[in-house]
Amino acid sequence: MTSDELPVEAAAPEQPATTFSDLGLEGPVLKALDDVGYETPSAIQAATIPTLLAGRDVVGLAQTGTGKTAAFALPILARLDVSQKTPQALVLAPTRELALQVCEAFERYAAHLRGVHILPVYGGQGYGVQLSALRRGVHIVVGTPGRIMDHLDKGTLDLSELKYLVLDEADEMLKMGFAEDVETILADTPDDKQVALFSATMPAAIRRMSQQYLHDPEEITVKTKTQTAANITQRYLVVSYAQKVDALTRILEVENFEGMIVFVRTKNVTEELAEKLRARGYEAAAINGDIAQAQRERTVNQLKSGKLDILVATDVAARGLDVERISHVVNFDIPTDSEPYVHRIGRTGRAGRTGDAISFVTPRERGLLARIEKATKQPITQMHLPSVDEVNVTRLARFDDRISAALEQTERIDGFRDIIAHYVRHHDVPEADVAAALAVVAQGESPLLLEPEPERPARAERPPRRERDERPGLDGRGWGDRDRGDRPERRHRAGDASLATYRIAVGRRHRVEPRQIVGALANEGGLKREDFGAIQIRPEFSLVELPADLPRETLERLESTRISGRLIELRRDTGGPGRRTGGTERPRSGARSGAPDADGKPFRKPRHKH
């Protein structure tokens, strides 16, 4: 019995598992599910799919990672009319990353449906690609609210024949300031469309939206088991993406492991990483969805027998893998949801044994880590990259073990004693030097010990934090109230010449917050957290530090970005750093002509050089 199964009374009849065909799905959709390895529906899928197939609106309360994408994608694909060339389904997602994930899921599930066209629409991608696809005909559009609004304003997206609309992670969209855009899109689409709204929480704004725009929706709530086993030690290492391979190599050197699974996100990385590990002397192999079943079984058997030590795998390929010898799981790429995290680390600590789980977390992924800790209700302990001294101690210990093992081979040792004595007599060399020379021969070209790391220059003292200087993460929360040790690494620092100050036409009067600014600019401009510097919110406008070398196409996209329904009209600010005198916010000269400052005097319109 696995850890996920519950004991049943002997007299109780065994209930057959629900299948996707039991839910009303058939034909090409079922074939695609078989291809991706889905056998039984998750709780949210079992509850939602029949309801959506019946034509009812749905409000689904479920955490990320419960399988809700399939819950709405499968019913849409099952009822799609391929002959209709205008969009039939629209899925709104809060971020371009989620939009792309949803789009990829649709493509997997539509693998056996001929002529189905799915288009991701998000900021950061050129309009040309999206416009040409829309002109050719698209059945399903998956996009962020800001870019969808842009297409609606330009008249390039026709939603007049829309049949299905999905709001994915609706609470996140509202947190990021997309409430007005979402309501505008809902109001401008056909009244007889079917709507599915998915949210992790049910704040008042979501409740009001569902009551106003959904017709007699069925509310479905799913709670998932996200507990991890107590016998698994969970640790994480903060490391940049470029350092991951070297970090993994050091961990392999100092950790006492039997068998290990290294999880990555894509099948291409499985092959690349396995090859790099083999080049470093480890017995490693890759498994992914493209590998034939016979080869997969051979690889797993090699791991069980000890001929293989490291398996590099994707989530799908490792499904159902049960090897007691696995002592460690490494999340080379941390999963985006808590459920796959629980499934991954459950590959170790089997049959009552202890296990270790180590997750690599880039500075941008700290938020993912926090969500996993919250969902699993277990802290994950930070570890540090093994030092050169720790690696060298391990290497010396292993070298000692090799010498001790050789000394036990007494017959061979006796034969070599005569050879060494002969060499010492004829070359007048101490026996210790001969032993050292033999160690060099045995070691080969690669050095036994790592060189000490060069000392890093001390950092210059940081300038004092300016008043109203908020440095956000992608969630828009300031960092000023965190301990220095918890502050994520950033490429830009205060006063960094690589940053420039930009002005946007929304401010405190428009009830704008830093998280809304960060969310909108990150999504529409394809910006990362380290691209943001200080954010200063003034009564009529806001000042944001961004890279000084933003490409022209990024600037053009951001100029037409909306926050809370308003165009932000982003442009460079020419007034230099914000100044404050006696507590009064001083004007800066980059605002539009005629707009008054705090003292009632108009700003002059700046001249732009093209």
227-241, 262-276, 480-494 — most confident range: 262-276
pLDDT averaged over every residue in the chain: 78
Q: Name the helix (H) or strand (E) containing 97.
A: helix 96-109
- The confidence score (pLDDT) of residue 138 equals 94
Contact status, residue 585 vs residue 538, Cβ threshold 8 Å? yes
Of the candidates 225, 251, 256, 263, which has an alpha carbon nearest to the alpha carbon of residue 345?
A: 263
Mean pLDDT score, 423-436: 82
- The confidence score (pLDDT) of residue 454 equals 54
- The confidence score (pLDDT) of residue 351 equals 63
Q: What is the dihedral of CA 477, 481, 487, 490, to 10 degrees?
A: 60
Residue 353 one-letter amino acid: R
Judge whether residue 193 has pLDDT over 60. yes
Angle between helices 145-154 and 179-187 (to 10 degrees): 50
Higher-confidence position of 384 and 463: 384
Strands 355-361 and 499-504 come out as unpaired
Contacts of 240 (CB under 8 A, 6+ apart): 362, 363, 489
pLDDT-derived band at 441 (thresholds 50, 70, 90) equals: confident
Q: What is the pLDDT of residues 341-381, one digit of tens each?
A: 888 888 888 766 788 999 999 988 888 888 888 878 888 99
Q: CA 193 to CA 392: how far, in whole Å?
A: 66
Mean pLDDT score, 38-47: 85
Rounded to 5 degrees, what are φ and ψ at 92? -100, 130
Contact status, residue 415 vs residue 275, Cβ threshold 8 Å? no
pLDDT-derived band at 469 (thresholds 50, 70, 90) equals: very low
168-182, 399-413, 509-523 — most confident range: 168-182
- The confidence score (pLDDT) of residue 333 equals 93
Q: CA 149 to CA 408: how far, in whole Å?
A: 76
Angle between helices 267-279 and 244-254 (to 10 degrees): 50
6-15, 550-559, 579-588 — most confident range: 550-559
Judge whether residue 237 has pLDDT over 90. yes
pLDDT-derived band at 300 (thresholds 50, 70, 90) equals: confident
Q: CA 512 to CA 502: how far, in whole Å?
A: 16
571-572, strands of its sheet edge to edge: 535-537, 542-547, 499-504, 571-572
The least confident of 223-232, 432-441, 579-588 is 579-588
Secondary structure class of 414 (helix, strand, coil): helix
Judge whether residue 153 has pLDDT over 80. yes
The least confident of 113-122, 162-171, 211-220, 506-515 is 506-515
Higher-confidence position of 585 and 287: 287
pLDDT-derived band at 588 (thresholds 50, 70, 90) equals: very low
Task: Specify whether the backbone of 77 is left (phi greater than 0), alpha (psi in -120 to 50) or beta.
Answer: alpha
pLDDT-derived band at 474 (thresholds 50, 70, 90) equals: very low
Tell me which residue has tokens 């470093």.
Answer: 280
| Distance, C-alpha 433 to centroid of its chain | 54
The least confident of 41-45, 78-82, 92-96, 421-425 is 421-425
Judge whether residue 530 has pLDDT over 80. no
Sign of CA dihedral 125, 153, 550, 519: negative
Rounded to 5 degrees, what are φ and ψ at 449? -115, 145
pLDDT-derived band at 92 (thresholds 50, 70, 90) equals: very high
pLDDT-derived band at 71 (thresholds 50, 70, 90) equals: very high
Contact status, residue 308 vs residue 335, Cβ threshold 8 Å? no
Contact status, residue 542 vs residue 511, Cβ threshold 8 Å? no
Higher-confidence position of 389 and 490: 389
Mean pLDDT score, 225-243: 82
Sign of CA dihedral 462, 463, 466, 469: negative
Residue 452 tokens, joined: 């000490």
| Helix, strand, coil shares, percent, the chain, to 5 | 40, 15, 45
What is the distance between the terminal CA atoms of the chain, rounded to a whole angstrom? 70
* E strand segments, 399-547: 499-504, 535-537, 542-547
Tell me which residue has tokens 């997206």.
Answer: 157
Q: What is the DSSP letter of 591?
A: S
Contact status, residue 189 vs residue 90, Cβ threshold 8 Å? yes
| Buried-exposed string 75-102: b where 16+ CB fall within 10 A, e elsewhere | bbbbebeeeebebbbbbbbbbbebbebb
- The confidence score (pLDDT) of residue 43 equals 86
Q: Name the helix (H) or strand (E) containing 312.
A: strand 310-313
Judge whether residue 192 has pLDDT over 50. yes
Mean pLDDT score, 250-262: 89
Q: What is the pLDDT of residues 8-31, one digit of tens each?
A: 333 344 456 688 989 999 899 999
Q: Name the helix (H) or strand (E) containing 424.
A: helix 410-427
- The confidence score (pLDDT) of residue 415 equals 77
CB neighbours of residue 448 within 10 Å: 14
Higher-confidence position of 428 and 6: 428
Q: What is the dihedral of CA 443, 446, 452, 454, to 10 degrees?
A: 170
Q: Max CA-CA distance within the chain?
A: 100
Contacts of 266 (CB under 8 A, 6+ apart): 314
Percent of the chain at pLDDT > 70 equals 80
- The confidence score (pLDDT) of residue 158 equals 93
What is the set of domains in the chain, with CATH numbers? 21-221 (3.40.50.300), 232-386 (3.40.50.300), 389-443 (no CATH), 487-585 (3.30.70.330)
Of the candidates 337, 366, 339, which has an alpha carbon nearest to the alpha carbon of residue 236?
A: 366
- The confidence score (pLDDT) of residue 586 equals 34
- The confidence score (pLDDT) of residue 162 equals 96
Secondary structure class of 331 (helix, strand, coil): strand
Judge whether residue 49 has pLDDT over 90. yes
Contacts of 526 (CB under 8 A, 6+ apart): 96, 123, 124, 554
Higher-confidence position of 88 and 97: 88
